[in-house]
């Protein structure tokens, strides 16, 4: 028995050659229109110096296209550098990202080294957040043991009182990080698990090259 395959769905035009950042932007725009919550949510995988991995959900807070970083582009997120992921980034500054948009049946995987954004960039984003979120960042000792929720509530109240009537100061350990991608992989669902999958690899001086992969 012969099973028919949708040749059009599997054509290379489904995941075109060229700039993967342009394709990322197009897929992100569709996700913003279709995902009910946090279309910019991504899994962030880090590892210790001993290569013990961990993963959690964070929010993408900046995307720099292929016109930046010598063609590689970048993805930005922010976190408490004293948290578990912050400690892992300090010990092993490489990471992987995963976007999964269930409503679109698509995902994007991104890999590369991490670097810290400058203080002015971190300040600008920190002060663009809701004031309550800024105060929460001041109060939280992220990933540290907590004896009771009331202790956290009291720390938040202390932060409210400390900055009443003034600007909330960004904690020095609340930082931004930039992932410079060395590889980006796009996957989209097709019938009968005959999915489309294309991997882009960046080479300094040569730019991006891509190839289809078996799903």
The predicted pLDDT at position 9 comes to 56
The predicted pLDDT at position 36 comes to 82
Domain boundaries defined on the chain: 12-124+178-212, 128-169
Residue 7 in this model has a pLDDT that exceeds 60: no
Question: Could you give phi then psi for residue 131, rounded to 5 degrees?
Answer: -55, -40
Q: Which residue has the tokens 């202390």?
A: 158
pLDDT tens-digit map of 181-215:
999 999 998 888 889 999 999 999 999 999 999 99
Question: Under a CB-based contact definition with an 8 Å cutoff, are residues 108 and 24 in contact?
Answer: yes
Q: How far apart are CA 203 and CA 184, in angstroms?
A: 12
User: What is the secondary structure of 26-57 as a DSSP string?
Assistant: HHHHHHHHH-SS-TTEEEEEEE-TT--EEEEE
- Beta-carbon contacts of residue 67 (< 8 Å; ≥ 6 apart): 73
Catalytically annotated residues: 193
The predicted pLDDT at position 17 comes to 67
> What is the third-level CATH fold of 12-124+178-212?
Pnp Oxidase; Chain A (2.30.110)
Q: How far apart are CA 170 and CA 117, in angstroms?
A: 14
pLDDT tens-digit map of 143-185:
999 999 999 999 999 999 999 999 999 999 999 999 999 999 9
Residue 2 in this model has a pLDDT that exceeds 50: no
pLDDT tens-digit map of 107-142:
999 999 999 999 999 999 999 999 999 999 999 999
Residue 103 in this model has a pLDDT that exceeds 80: yes
Whole-number average pLDDT of the chain: 92
Which pTM does this prediction carry? 0.90
The tokens for 1 are: 């028995």
pLDDT tens-digit map of 61-102:
999 999 999 999 999 999 999 999 999 999 999 999 999 999
Residue 12 in this model has a pLDDT that exceeds 70: no
Long-range contacts of 8-13 (CB under 8 A, 24+ apart): 9/190, 9/191, 9/194, 9/196, 10/190, 10/194, 10/196, 12/212
Q: Say whether 124 sits in a helix, a strand or coil.
A: helix
């Amino acid at each position: 028995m012969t099973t028919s395959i949708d040749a059009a769905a599997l054509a290379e035009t489904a995941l075109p050659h060229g700039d993967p950042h342009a394709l990322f932007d197009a897929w992100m725009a569709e996700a913003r229109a279709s995902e009910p919550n946090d279309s910019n949510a991504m899994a962030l995988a880090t590892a210790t110096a001993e290569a013990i991995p961990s993963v959690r959900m964070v929010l993408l807070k900046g995307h720099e296209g292929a016109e930046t970083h010598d063609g590689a582009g970048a993805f930005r997120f922010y976190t408490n550098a004293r948290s578990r992921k912050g400690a892992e980034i300090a010990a092993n500054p490489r990471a992987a990202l995963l976007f999964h948009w269930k409503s679109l049946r698509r995902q994007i995987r991104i890999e590369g080294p991490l670097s810290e954004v400058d203080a002015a960039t971190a300040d600008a984003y920190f002060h663009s957040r809701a004031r309550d979120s800024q105060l929460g960042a001041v109060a939280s000792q992220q990933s540290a043991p907590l004896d009771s929720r009331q202790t956290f509530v009291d720390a938040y109240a202390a932060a409210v009182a400390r900055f009443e009537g003034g600007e909330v100061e960004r904690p020095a350990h609340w930082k931004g990080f930039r992932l410079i991608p060395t590889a980006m992989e796009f996957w989209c669902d097709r019938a009968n698990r005959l999915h489309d999958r294309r991997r882009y690899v960046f080479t300094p001086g040569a730019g991006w090259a891509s190839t289809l992969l078996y799903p």
